[in-house]
Amino acid sequence: MEQEIKKWKKLMLIHKFALDEVNTKLQILNEEFQHIHQYNPIEHIKSRLKNQEGIVRKLERKGHAVTPENARRHVHDIAGVRITCSFTSDIYRVVQMIQHQRDIQVVILKDYIKNAKPNGYQSLHLIVEIPVFLAASTEKTLVEIQIRTVAMDFWASLEHKLFYKFEKEIPQALGRELKSAAETMKVLDEKMEAIKREMDFVKQGGTFL
């Protein structure tokens, strides 16, 4: 039992270190764009470490035995980062910046912007692997990164609240309203993207017709 507790503690500590590493890299990129470049694609960065109770629930949902080994193997979002951007094109720019980091390997990319979920959910998810250097070993550890526009994040926050308020069974009428709101959100993001293109065009010396 004591050995198992130590394994869980090590699991959580390694994922905390991995989260710290990713946060540091993102913060450096964020400050670089703020102080050196004329435009910063990153609006906000939030991070969280899933607690052991949440890990256990996810393992049980997936039908796996509750062990630290299975948590490491099957739960990819123990460490999570959410990046919020102003424009959809910024999301893909941030993805490129992450892919160019030498010691970050993108393991999984799920694009729910080009292919939204049936309920209307939109976001871009990355599962990345990053080395954590300990005194006696190097542990390659997974971190989930979600990248969204402000509008996508607002919608996802509302959907999350409803999901738990109604115990994971959102009433059909509310589900339809959410889907409609997601379509409106997509139109808004497209309009904002069009404004950004016009702004960039003017900055480069163009004029409005």
Q: What would the pLDDT profile of 84-141 be if each residue is shown by its tens digit?
A: 999 999 999 999 999 999 999 999 999 999 999 999 999 999 999 999 999 989 999 9
SS3 content of the chain, % helix, strand, coil (to 5): 55, 20, 25
| Close Cβ partners of 125 (under 8 Å, ≥ 6 residues apart) | 108, 109, 110, 112, 144, 145, 146, 147
Q: Which of 20-34, 130-144, 163-177 has the lowest mean pLDDT?
A: 163-177
Please say if the pLDDT value at position 202 is more than 70.
yes
Domain for residue 202, yes or no?
Answer: no
Instruction: Supply the mean pLDDT for the chain.
Output: 91
Could you give the CA distance from residue 149 to residue 90 in angstroms, rounded to a whole number?
Answer: 8
CATH number of domain containing 83: 3.30.460.10
Residue 35 covered by a domain: yes
The tens digit of pLDDT for each residue in 145-160 reads 999 999 999 999 998 8
Determine the pLDDT at residue 175. 85
Report the DSSP pairing between strands 79-85 and 42-49.
antiparallel
Q: Kindly state whether residue 189 falls inside one of the protein's structural domains.
A: no
Asked if residue 127 belongs to a domain, the reply is: yes
The Cα 20–Cα 202 span in angstroms is: 39
Q: What is the pLDDT of residue 100?
A: 92
* Per-residue exposure over 170-199, b if at least 16 CB sit within 10 Å of its own CB, e if not: beeeebeebeebbeebbeebeebbeebeee
pLDDT confidence of residue 207: 60
For residue 143, what pLDDT band results from cuts at 50, 70 and 90?
very high
198 is a catalytic site residue: no
In a domain? residue 163:
no
Backbone angles phi, psi at 133, to 5 degrees: -90, 110
Cα 157 → chain centroid: 13
Query: Which of 2-6, 163-167, 205-209 is predicted most confidently?
Result: 2-6
In a domain, 33, yes or no: yes
> What's the pTM?
0.91
Higher-scoring residue by pLDDT: 2, 70: 70
88's tokens = 């959809």
Q: Residue range 44-64: average pLDDT? A: 94
Residue closest to 77 by CA, chosen among 115, 108, 104, 40: 108
Host domain of residue 118: 2-151
Which of the residues 31, 69, 144, 167 is marked catalytic?
144
Q: What totals of helices (H) and strands (E) does the chain contain, helices first? A: 6, 5
In a domain, 198, yes or no: no
Residue 55 is predicted with a pLDDT of 95
Work out how many domains the chain is built from and give that number. Answer: 1
Residue 157 lies in a domain: no
Strands of the chain, DSSP E? 42-49, 79-85, 105-111, 124-133, 138-149
Identify the pLDDT of residue 206: 61
